[in-house]
Amino acid sequence: MSTYKAINLIARPEPGPITPKYFEVVEKDIPKAEPGQLLIKQTHMSLDPAMFGWMSPATDSYIPPVELGSVMRSSGIGEVVESNHPDFAAGDRVMGMLGWQEYALSEGQGINKVQAPLPDETVLSIFALPGLTATQGLFNIGKPKAGETLIVTGAAGSVGSLVGQLAKADGLTVIGVAGSDEKCDWIVNELGFDAAINYKSGNLSEQLDALTPNGIDLFFENTGGPIQNLIFERMNNHGRIVVCGMIADYSKAEPSPGPNWIPLIKKRITVQGFAMPDHFHQVPELLAKLTPYVMEGKIKHRSHILEGLESAIDGLNLFFTGENKGKLIVQL
């Protein structure tokens, strides 16, 4: 019988980089699909910052942590190689929470067929979590209006790059915040953002003043970090702050203090956090909103491909160093 590899989470990460000591790589026999089951050979696995939360012991989050000793949680795309399930056939291309493993046995829950004739990288970069998150956060929470000014942090990332392009397509002035000159250049010159700020450069206050002469109406927050306070100070009356992510704090023992709340009252600002699992029942309508922008050629993306299952472990650190250029995907 032939075998496949899987990676189990065996310890809760401490603050700092992710290392192999938190995982065990195991070799298992490839199983047979029993009645009601399908066997999927995974081809592309998505890496997401949400994994830091899933690995933590916190039980008060929107989803339970991954149990120690079990396969690390992740979404991915693969091909059905054997099916004893009435809804799936061998050869179907499918997507779902397949985990850090080369093969996944499933009873079909949460597994969806991928019909779109698009490369796997494009599906994972746009039509999976990044695009759903950008669409939900921007349109349903941020409620953008043409002529407004939007600022998005993590602007060259999977979610942020989509948020900025969608807002630009709808007639907003879009400023992106990213962590390198290369990323700033990409979002302005390739994606069409109006301007970008490298948050690792100096004079952030002066740069923000120069780029937002009419203040900021919509702040799509993906990162946190010191620029958060500077953006907050420039919010307009009735501004909206969409809190999608706070990656600057994910590996810290103590999160940073946030801005003072008095301006929320004076300026009647709305701050709303959200987590996509609350909105998975809205996927058809989110895709219906997103797809026309893609079909009209208004959305570009880039994927950062790592090779082989074990590359996922060190790959997670790229989110913190910012070395990921686009959607992080592991090709199996």
Ligand X SMILES: NC(=O)c1ccc[n+]([C@@H]2O[C@H](COP(=O)([O-])OP(=O)(O)OC[C@H]3O[C@@H](n4cnc5c(N)ncnc54)[C@H](OP(=O)(O)O)[C@@H]3O)[C@@H](O)[C@H]2O)c1
CB of 28 to ligand X, least distance (A): 29
Stretch binding ligand X (CB under 6 A), from 32-40, 111-119, 245-253, 284-292: 245-253
Picking from 39, 108, 62, the residue whose alpha carbon sits closest to that of residue 280 is 62
* Binder among 245, 303, 309, 313 for ligand X (CB under 6 A): 245
- CA distance linking residue 218 with residue 205, whole number of Å: 18
Q: Of 80 and 330, which has the nearer Cβ to ligand X? A: 330
- CA distance linking residue 228 with residue 232, whole number of Å: 6
Position 54 contacts ligand X (CB under 6 A): no
Q: Of 111 and 187, which has the nearer Cβ to ligand X? A: 187
- CA distance linking residue 66 with residue 57, whole number of Å: 8
- CA distance linking residue 7 with residue 173, whole number of Å: 44
Q: Which residue has the tokens 């392009």?
A: 165
Residues present in the chain in total: 332
Instruction: Please report how many Cα atoms fall inside a 13 Å half-sphere around the Cα of residue 296, on the Cβ side.
Output: 10
| Contact yes or no for 172/142 (Cβ under 8 A) | no
* Binder among 156, 191, 204, 329 for ligand X (CB under 6 A): 156
Interface map 158-197 toward ligand X (x if CB under 6 A) = xxx-----------------xxx--x--------------
* Binder among 30, 54, 320, 331 for ligand X (CB under 6 A): 320
Query: What 3-state class would DSSP assign to 130?
Result: helix
The crossing angle, in degrees rounded to 10, of helices 158-169 and 283-295 is: 70
CB of 85 to ligand X, least distance (A): 29
Q: Of 80 and 294, which has the nearer Cβ to ligand X? A: 294
Q: Of 169 and 275, which has the nearer Cβ to ligand X? A: 275
* Binder among 196, 276, 286, 330 for ligand X (CB under 6 A): 276
| Residue 94 backbone dihedrals phi, psi, to 5 degrees | -135, 165
CB of 172 to ligand X, least distance (A): 19
Q: Of 144 and 164, which has the nearer Cβ to ligand X? A: 164
- CA distance linking residue 129 with residue 86, whole number of Å: 27
Contact residues toward ligand X (CB under 6 A) are 48-50, 129-130, 133, 154, 156-160, 178-180, 183, 222-223, 225, 244-245, 247-248, 274-276, 319-320, 322, 324
